[in-house]
Amino acid sequence: MEPATLIPVEPPTRIKLDAFLKNREQRFLSLPAEIRFTIYEHAVVELLPICPMQVVDGSNKFIWGRYRKVQENGGGGGSTLEPAEKALTVTQLTRTSRQVRLDLAADPSFYRSNIFSFRDPHQLHFFLAALTPERRRAIRNIQVHEVRHSPGSREWAATRFGSVLSGDRCRHLLTLLRDCRDLRRVVYLLSGLPFADPRRVAAAPRTDAGLTGASWRPTAPRARSADTVTETSAILRAVVHRARSAIRLGSPSLWHLPGFAIALNMGDFDEAVVELGGGAPEEALPRRFRERDDFVAVLREAKTAFRDYQLRLRERRKQNPRTRPTGWEVYNATRGAGLDFPGDIRVNQEGTPRGFEATPKYDGEGILAWRVCGVRDIRPKGSVPGGRVLECLVEFPDRGLSWEEVRRLASWRHLCLIRSFYEELFGSDDDPRERLEAIERTPRPGEVRDALGDLVEGAPPYSSRGCWEETARQRERAIRRLKRRIEHTELIAAAKAMDAEKHGTSGNARTGWTFRVSVKVLEDIS
């Protein structure tokens, strides 16, 4: 067999050679800025949603994509984060040259062209607060993808939407979302719910089934029958109706945000995906559900119980205007207001230079939003019909000391500082007389609890009645210990005085008498 002849290489023509030389001289950075930014906009687009992650809890710096924890020797489980997958295109582009980095910083096309996904609304809150206003206004698509493997209660799906997506928890989040002026769509994607028999799951929402928009699309080829998908759609519409009914009139809610929708992924097999939002068509409850008297009875019973709860909560607020529905709501609202912990300075995404943006001293609920180093003293400020008003001497990192009312510290983080103040006050080994006077002058722990009232009811970890009672017992033990130390000191002083008057007594006798007195006092202390 004769070898195949090679294709003869033709010399380039003059026209092709001129075009080649011209293109070789043309550089990317020499292109007009409009063309470069158009190229950037296509280059930084990612196929999958981007998942920002905080470097550490409480930090204002985020990393992109999935990362894993490694040790210095390369093993797993360490404290160092390294990328678990290929770096994003925008990250690689910023490392090419200084000019490209400046171009990407000047034009936030990365934030405008991608979908950002978060595991809960709080992470979305932290991320939006850490961004500069220009980048925040460029975001168009946000997705909150929460995975729930085993709900703690059967009503979890309904109560979750009613508590997380409405009320005081999302007030600060809504403020930041309204600053996203180019925002097109916000999706709350929920997956991991255990799929069970539809007739048994039908009673899970325990709410009234109203007319709420819904549309479904089965995923082939594993989609179930049309009846199952229709029943699932009806159940989810009932859940959303329950969530909407939990929103108090006039309170902020993500439901009022344009482009908001809920995407519920029933089960891990993607058998039925139902999107619920303002733009979906309205559908009535299927006939099979209307014919089930037991299902309708359960829904009516749950609706009546929920209305009774609202009436009890309304009466409770009339008696004490400071009362919140639950301690967890106060806890999350405080965490939302203190999103810049540690520190009241926000750091932009680049890290250098820093962008300074002052945080208000108090949040919308009147709780301290500045970072507090510690509580140095507690004293009474005045009297009110319900008791005394107490105030704490609070130390800030860069702002010195300030007297603040105890109600300004109604969060679990601040309660830890109050508990630490009492522990340091009771456990100090200073002069016993001065320490005893300081303890008796300081308000009792029970007075601090009464001054807070129901502001932190149920909030971990130091708000329960047992913790306050334990602090009160520590106070009593400290007082008894200090009194015995003072008595012991007085006995030793008296023994030395009597010993000085008895000049004829031998040294061994004087030492033995003092030793017996000391042993007697120590036995009383023990």
Q: How confident is the model at residue 264, as a pLDDT?
A: 54
Q: How confident is the model at residue 241, as a pLDDT?
A: 55
The Cα 59–Cα 50 span in angstroms is: 19
The Cα 438–Cα 502 span in angstroms is: 38
Strand ranges (E), 71-184: 80-83, 115-118, 141-147
Quick one: pLDDT band at residue 472, thresholds 50, 70, 90?
Answer: confident
On the 0-12 / 13-18 / 19+ scale of CB atoms within 10 A, 16 is exposed
* pLDDT surpasses 80 at 43: yes
What percentage of the chain exceeds 70 in pLDDT?
45
Helices (H), 26-57: 33-43
Single-letter amino acid, residue 464: S
Q: How confident is the model at residue 37, as a pLDDT?
A: 87
CA distances 194 to 63, 191, 222, 230, 289, Å, are 32, 9, 16, 17, 21
Nearest to 414 by CA among 320, 328, 331, 322: 331
Give the mean pLDDT of 294-308: 53
Q: How confident is the model at residue 341, as a pLDDT?
A: 33
Q: How confident is the model at residue 351, as a pLDDT?
A: 34
Give the mean pLDDT of 188-216: 39
* Angle at 144 (CA atoms; ends 143, 145), nearest 5 degrees: 105
Of the ranges 31-35, 86-90, 134-138, 486-490, which one carries the lowest mean pLDDT score?
A: 86-90
* Total count of residues recorded for the chain: 526
Between helix 465-501 and helix 507-525 the angle, nearest 10°, is: 170
Quick one: pLDDT band at residue 469, thresholds 50, 70, 90?
Answer: confident
* pLDDT surpasses 50 at 229: no
For residue 20, report the phi and psi dihedrals to the nearest 5 degrees: -65, -45
Could you tell me which residue, 101 or 509, shows the higher pLDDT? Answer: 101
Give 268-297 pLDDT, tens digit per residue: 333 334 444 444 333 433 344 344 444 445
Give 394-426 pLDDT, tens digit per residue: 988 767 788 888 888 877 778 888 888 888 888
Could you tell me which residue, 239 or 352, shows the higher pLDDT? Answer: 239
Could you tell me which residue, 144 or 78, shows the higher pLDDT? Answer: 144
Could you tell me which residue, 187 or 137, shows the higher pLDDT? Answer: 137
Mean predicted lDDT score pLDDT of the chain: 65
Reported pTM: 0.42
For residue 197, report the phi and psi dihedrals to the nearest 5 degrees: -60, 130
For the ranges 47-56, 62-71, 175-184, 481-490, the maximum mean pLDDT occurs at 481-490
Quick one: pLDDT band at residue 107, thresholds 50, 70, 90?
Answer: confident
Could you tell me which residue, 491 or 79, shows the higher pLDDT? Answer: 491
